Amino acid sequence: MTPYEQEQVAAIAAWKSPQADPGRRALQQLSEQASRALGKLLPTDTVPTLMQALNRMAAQLAEDDSILDDPWLRERQIGTLRDLAVQPLEVADALANRILADAERIALGMGAVTGTGGPVAALAGTPLLLGGALRVIHRISQAYGHNSETHQDRMLMLHILALSTAIDPDERRRVLDDYHHLIEASLLRQAISESTLTALQRVLLGSELTSLIPGLGMVLNARFNQLFIREAGIAARRVFQERWLRERGKTGWIAPVQ
């Protein structure tokens, strides 16, 4: 491996480890409070169907708004996903960072709008936020030369979203195990696993928490949206970095830092 690739292996191992960041813990606690309030408005048995629909929409949007139209790629004469797949890891990472930065700016604006509309806007804004996160995940997969043509590929995007929302160490380990099994067994799942669904339910029912708590305002809501999109983008980058390295025989599964 190159020195850069070795640095990314260490970063992936650190990302897989349980997160002790107090800011993420606070988001989890507030999200759970909002979940109880919104759970009365949205039946949880609608979550799997909604998530599958949002995932299909995100895949289509990522295909229609191709990353290959980015002038940064045209300058480098990169015109296909196959061209991207043979680039050094540094190129894929740089493109993933560009994709995530653009998505964070959009999330800030969306959060500011939904942060002033009360519970109705919160309920309407939650699918938009989840769809936006899934779109980022699909687009970042393209940065590493991948797409979401198969059912397995699309399920992987949902698992990445679940990874980005899993803060509790035990929950995080379960979702990571699901992800590894999905890849190694090439399992075409007809339903989201219990651990993944639990993570997604919490976000779906509680992501727009700041518009339900008086005094937090649209600025904090915008910041929450930005952080949510950022976590999804970082999870996608780490997953596809590891996949890039494994496909080239540079590493096996990368173990979390103990």
Q: What is the pLDDT of residues 130-179, one digit of tens each?
A: 888 899 999 999 999 998 777 788 888 988 988 887 777 777 778 888 77
Output the CA torsion sign for 83, 86, 87, 90. positive
**Residue 33 and residue 26: Cα distance in Å, rounded?**
11
Q: What is the pLDDT of residues 194-235, one digit of tens each?
A: 666 666 666 665 554 545 555 555 666 677 778 888 889 999
CB atoms within 10 A of CB 72: 12
Tokens representing residue 40 in the block:
């009365």
Q: CA 187, 192, 198, 199: dihedral to nearest 10 degrees?
A: 70
Q: What is the pLDDT of residues 90-126, one digit of tens each?
A: 999 999 999 999 988 887 766 655 555 555 555 566 7
Residue 224 sits at φ, ψ, to 5 deg, of -60, -45
Q: CA 76, 94, 7, 241: dihedral to nearest 10 degrees?
A: -90
List the one residue out of 237, 43, 12 whose CA is nearest residue 143: 237
Residue 211 is inside which H or E element, if any?
none
